[in-house]
Every structure is written in C-alpha cells, then in structure tokens.
Amino acid sequence: MGEMKGVRLAVMLALLAACGVFAEASPRRIPLKKKSIDLQSVRSAAARTLQRANALAGSANSLRGGDAVDLNNYMDAQYFGEIGIGSPPQPFSVIFDTGSSNLWVPSAKCYLSLACYFHRRYKSSKSSTYKEDGMEEVFAEATKEPGVTFVSAKFDGILGLGFKEISVDRVTPVWYNMLDQGLVKEPVFSFWLNRDSDESDGGELVFGGVDPDHFKGEHTYTPVTRKGYWQFDLGDVTIAGRSVGFCAQGCSAIADSGTSLLAGPSGIVAEINQAIGATGIVSQQCKMVVQQYGEQIVEMLVAQMNPGKVCASLGLCQLAAGEPGIASVLEKEEVHSLHADPRCTVCEMALVWAQNQLRMNRTKEEIDAYLNQLCERLPSPNGESAVDCNALSYMPNVGFTIAGKSFELTPEQYILKIGEGPEKQCVSGFLGLDVPPPAGPLWILGDVFMGVYHTVFDFGNSRLGFAKAA
C-alpha cells in the first residue's frame, strides 16, 4: 500500500493472540456504529480513493452465533472497528481494508507528524510480546503520517484483508494468521455496511461466516480473477438500463471496503454525472479536443473505421504493437501506459460518447452538443460533483453486471446527502479515475456499493458473493 512507505515497523510475537477480538474457531462479528456525513468527509474520501487508484496503477454457509466486532460508521465515509495489540492488549480503531494486506497503527515514537497526536499510539514498552527486529515490515508502527488525510481520520490505523500478493515485503497478513491458527470456522468473511443515517449501528464484519439477518435471497458469486486486491470481472455498466458501451466487452473491478466512494473510468462517470445532472469543473482540455477532433471522430465512426484505431489515426494515441501482458500487482515499478498523453484519454472518452449517440441515431450537431455537455460534467479534482437534492426522483438507476446479473443502485443509494433542512447538499457518489492498461480500466466498488449489497469474501473458494443487504 502506498501509505506504508516511510513507516517503521516492528515484529510482535503471537500477533493474532494479542488481537483481543479473536479467540476461538467460530464466526466473529464486528459491529459498526453510525454518524452523519459532511462535505469534508466526502473530500477526504475522494482523496483516499485517488490514492487507492495510484496504488492500483502500479460459497460460504450461513452461520449464526459468534462474537461481534463493532464497526463505527463515521459519515458514510469511514467504517472502522476496535482491535487490541500487545500483551496486555492496547486498543486501536482500524479500517478493515480489503484493498491492502498489512496491519499498521501509529507509534509512540511518531514525534514529527501532527496526525499521530490525534490518535492512539502503540507503546512497545507496555507490551510483553513486543520484539523489534529492525525490519521494514510485519507489524507496522507508523512513525510518520505525512499530509492532512490522517489528521481528520477517526480511525487509528488499518488492518488489511487483501491477499498476501500485495502485502508489503511479503509479510503474512493477519487474516492468513487467523486461518493458520484455526481462529475461524470457515475461510470466509463478510461485510454488512449500514447506510441508514437514522440508525446507530454502523454495520458488521463477520469473520468465519455470514450473518443471514443482513441480506435477502441468495448471493451471486463471481470468481477472483487476480489475487492481490479482491478483483473480479465486471460486465456492462448501464444508466437507466442502457449500456454505456465502454464495458460492453468487460472491465475489471475490485470490492474495496477501504474506499468510501464508487470510482470508475472518467468517461463513464462523466456520462453518469450528465444523466443525473451533476455539476463538475469544466475541463478546457476536453473541450479543446472535442472542438478540434469531434467532427472527425464522428465521421470515422460513420465510415465504419475500427474504433480502436480512431484516436491513433488522429495522432492522439499510440497504436499498440501487440496485446499488452498482464502486469503483476507486486511490481514496484510504475506502470507506463501507451496512452500517457491526456489528449488520448479525452479522445477515447469522446469516442465512446460518440458511439453511444450514433446508436441512438443522433445528428452530428446533436453529438457535438452532447460531447461538450459531457466535458462540463467531468468530475472535479476533489471528486465532489453536486446535484439538485429535489431532483432525485427524476434520476436514473445505475447498474453493474456481475456474473450475468445486474446490480442496480438507485439515486437514494448513490447520492450522498450532507446536512439537513435548507442547508442540505447532495453530492454524487461516483468518482472518475483512470487506471491505465494493463491493470485498467478498473472500477473500485467501495462503500457506496457495498452498503447496498452485502458482500462475502470467500477466501477458501477464491470468489466474492453479492446479495441485497437487509
């Protein structure tokens, strides 16, 4: 995980035994509590989502019983629960993050980072099981927390639940230790994230099973396609039942409990924001490309040119010599895309937009106007795109096809509401990001999605399951 750089780590023996929330082989539940949302939390969530994107570029049985690990829900943007580290246990609030694989908390030796003074810090001198070995990994004592993101965070650290393939320095993740020590009954864990702001329970994380009280019907399962993040194949994306075209041949996605929003390719997110009336920051570069090349793009498509060659023929993209290989998630070198020129990204967006309009028999003039509208709907750098709170009933559902089934989000589910009364604001839960090939294009289905669909992370069968949350 990118944030792990620059931290000092130390070994703690019998790590799992010291994490007081785990004791015996049975389902372990972690409850969550609920608080309301504000704009700053949305902006912080967007920043963390973009950090995740940068890092990316580089059947369980229904089991009842067992203890619960409470998960607090701070403003629909941070879900976290309590663990204990050391002997005797020192309590910490952590994000249970399926998008990373290491455990870290602030260290009492963190002196120069403001964020450390706002959170509980691990004191190695108070633990009888502590042993320092000078390594840069295993159990992380973060002696630096740069930037402002962690200053306002309501959690102390992160407990990664991703695969060992993305564990920094190949450290064995806590989840793997739990399995090895027989601390859970089944090799599966599941999330229920409560999105009801009127309830105090924030949600629940169950280790070793699933809670049948928190989902309806049966789960739809899809295999993990790439171990590291919990990555799987995503089929088409639809707006009001209509295909957006870009993922008609398939995209990839990850289920990520550590990301607050729902992020995807900028071109599709722009179409979604246009459909729901969200207002973002005008991209002058987008408008410039549309003005200079929009008509030619349409003409080439009408002439039946291979869409994959249109932007290259205009000199905006490089034509790949062959099919790119699949980059390992363990590669530390930066992944360089063939499409490094930002004009190429805009061209490819405009290409998809124009194709969708041609399918609806739009005229060239109508397509040109539409492309300019979408340029205006590109999300702002901070990710927040405002919508009219009174227009939710007119907004379309947005669907994601997983294992041949459409999982739809309603406006009430994908719009974040901030404040109450006349001061209330509404913000789109969709964030545009572009993970370049071969890792992308990629969707990050964060808490906006997982709050609607109960999610099972079936480690034993290497698959994910989604069912309507209850």
Residues carrying an active site annotation = 97, 256
Alpha helices in 58-145 (DSSP H): none
Q: Which two tokens stand for residue 404?
A: 């041949």
Three-state DSSP state, 351 = helix
Where does 302-388 show beta strands of DSSP type E?
386-387
Residue 176 φ/ψ region, left for φ over 0, alpha for ψ in the -120 to 50 degree band, beta for the rest:
alpha
List, as one string, the DSSP characters of 238-254.
EETTEE-STTTT-EEEE
Please give the DSSP secondary-structure letter assigned to residue 267: H
d(CA 127, CA 85): 8
Contact yes or no for 429/410 (Cβ under 8 A): no
- Cβ pair 122, 106 in contact under 8 A: yes
Helix (H, G, I), strand (E, B) or coil at 402: strand
Residue 335: both structure tokens together: 């992944």
Q: How many helices (H) and strands (E) does the chain have?
A: 10, 27
C-alpha distances in Å from residue 288, one per residue of 186, 241, 283, 332, 371: 55, 31, 9, 35, 11
Cis previous bond, 223, omega within 30: no
Contact in structure between 119 and 125 (CB atoms under 8 Å): no
Three-class SS of residue 364? Answer: helix
Comparing CA positions, the residue from 7, 30, 437, 441 lying closest to residue 209 is 30
User: Cβ contacts of residue 347 below 8 Å, gap of 6+?
Assistant: 289, 293, 297, 310, 311, 314, 316, 317
